[in-house]
Amino acid sequence: MEISEFISSLPVFIGNAVETNQWIGYGAILLAMFLENLIPPIPSELIMPLGGFYVSQGQLDFLPVVLAGLIGTVIGALPWYGIGRLVNEERLEKWLEKNGRWLGINPQELARSRKWFNRYGVSLVFWGRLVPGIRTLISVPAGVELMPITPFLIWTTAGSLIWTLFLTITGFYLGDNYANIETLISPFSSIFKIIIILTISAALITLIYKTLRKLINN
């Protein structure tokens, strides 16, 4: 089964689960949101609004739907965070000590990037959870920069809670038109993506400028 077919089958999977048993329905939403964070092409905009629709129909309850989506999201963020930890800064630093001269990068520059992430990383992890397409991958740099697991979980949970609440409430009020939510939020998603990209670009430009100025002065 291709990924597009799998994504298309998710509403049917959740619907069948809801029809079988209310708690199985919550479990299906949790599993779907876990997979959404594990496999980036799966959109949460398809899953949580559907949960909100079932709440509007009286087949599911609001709070368990939000909690199921939130738990699935947070658990799904951990594998990508773990991958980032495997390719962490300490290993990169050792590699740069041996090979960095060929790339023009030294361990000190890597340390500066970590300071930048420690300063702005919390904001990136939080706001990144609100941006489709970035939601999943924001966990990787957090792991690479060895962001402690506790603040990572706190800010991932905070950002994910806002996102799941927003999608569920929107699906509740859209009713049968819940599938149109992706069209509605697309402009806002683009704005958030631009802001995050500009923030990262500004940090990189600043780092390059300082490095060049140091080289010129020397």
Q: Write the pLDDT tens digit of every residue in 15-44.
A: 899 999 999 999 999 999 998 888 766 777
Rounded to two decimals, the pTM is: 0.71
Instruction: Report, as an integer, the average pLDDT of 179-196.
Output: 56
What percent of the chain has pLDDT above 90?
Answer: 26
When pLDDT is cut at 50, 70 and 90, the band that residue 214 belongs to is low
Q: Write the pLDDT tens digit of every residue in 191-210.
A: 555 655 555 555 556 555 55
Residue pair 76/30 in contact by the 8 Å Cβ criterion: no
- pLDDT reading at 113 higher than 60: no
Q: Write the pLDDT tens digit of every residue in 51-69.
A: 998 998 899 999 999 999 9
Residue pair 14/29 in contact by the 8 Å Cβ criterion: yes
The burial class, CB within 10 Å (0-12 / 13-18 / 19+), for 205 is exposed
